[in-house]
Amino acid sequence: MSERWQPATLLRRYKRFLADVQLADGQQITVHCPNTGAMTGCMEAGARIWLSHSANPKRKYAMTWEAIELSSGETICIHSARANHVVADALTAGQIPELSAYSEQRREVKLNEGSRVDFLLSEPGRCVVEVKSVTLGLEGGVGAFPDAVSARASRHLDELIEHVAQGDRAVLLLLAMHTGINSIAPADPIDPTYGDTLRRAVAAGVEVLCYGCEVSGQGVRLNRALPFRSRLPAGLLDS
């Protein structure tokens, strides 16, 4: 957590990729929103947010929305691509005991004819790791994934099942980048196909690891293991 982000106030998010914010000096600017999902529970107008700055002169919007502090006291990193960086740092530091035996780590590796895997760990053996960012927090500290229907996420599970069938170890790592999440479950009421596919993957030998994060104005880091629930508790997200 060596970064230092700039505080601002959220005014509104729109067109999926954009947000209007007010800086500490009162200036209002448009920033890039790096999360194209539903962001349910992550858009509290008037909330304090954190921005990073890019020195790339080709970018239309120099500032990126990274995190939000809710009035409830919880902080959420909404930059979903950060999840892989957090996991990479944790793997290097040996903070994920279940994956600490491997001496080699490669990122974004294309295997067979499928999608690129987030991490390929090897020596000894071979372990494929797919990382998903969890930001939808529900009552009782339960985190749910996904927050919108995601055929892509279900396809990734099918690919993990294929890796197990080929003799590899396959792991789905659900990373809660929401400080109020204390356990994680599939969001069946939002995407029943994903929930069914996840349970089928577990039955086929895919392992599910859940971890939480510390999120602040200085960045994000993995800090604790969380329990996995195969189903949401009754009543959560029911229509």
**What DSSP letter does each residue of 155-214 carry, written as one string?**
HHHHHHHHHHHTT-EEEEEEEE-BTT--EEEE-TTT-HHHHHHHHHHHHHT-EEEEEEEE
- Torsion, Cα 221 46 136 192, to 10 degrees, reads -150
Residues 6+ apart with CB under 8 A from 6: 23, 24, 50, 51, 52, 53, 63
Residue intervals of the chain classified under CATH 3.40.1350.60 are 82-226
- Torsion, Cα 176 178 181 185, to 10 degrees, reads -40
* Residue type, position 200, single letter: R
CATH number for 82-226: choose from 3.40.50.970, 3.40.1350.60, 3.30.365.10, 3.90.1150.10: 3.40.1350.60
Average pLDDT in the 3-26 region? 93
Which secondary-structure segment (H or E) carries 154?
helix 151-165
Write the pLDDT tens digit of every residue in 119-174: 999 999 999 999 999 999 999 999 999 999 999 999 999 999 999 999 999 999 99
Write the pLDDT tens digit of every residue in 175-218: 999 999 999 999 999 999 999 999 999 999 999 999 999 999 99
pTM of the model: 0.93
Tokens standing for residue 150: 């995601």
**Strand ranges in the chain using DSSP code E only, listed in sequence order:** 6-14, 18-23, 28-32, 48-53, 63-69, 75-77, 104-110, 116-122, 126-134, 136-137, 142-145, 169-176, 183-186, 207-216, 219-226
- What confidence score (pLDDT) does residue 1 get? 53
Average pLDDT in the 39-45 region? 91
Does 84 have pLDDT greater than 80? Answer: yes
CA–CA separation, 37 and 23 (whole Å): 25
- What confidence score (pLDDT) does residue 231 get? 95
Give me the CATH topology for the region 6-74. Answer: OB fold (Dihydrolipoamide Acetyltransferase, E2P) (2.40.50)
CA–CA separation, 191 and 186 (whole Å): 8
Residue intervals of the chain classified under CATH 2.40.50.580 are 6-74
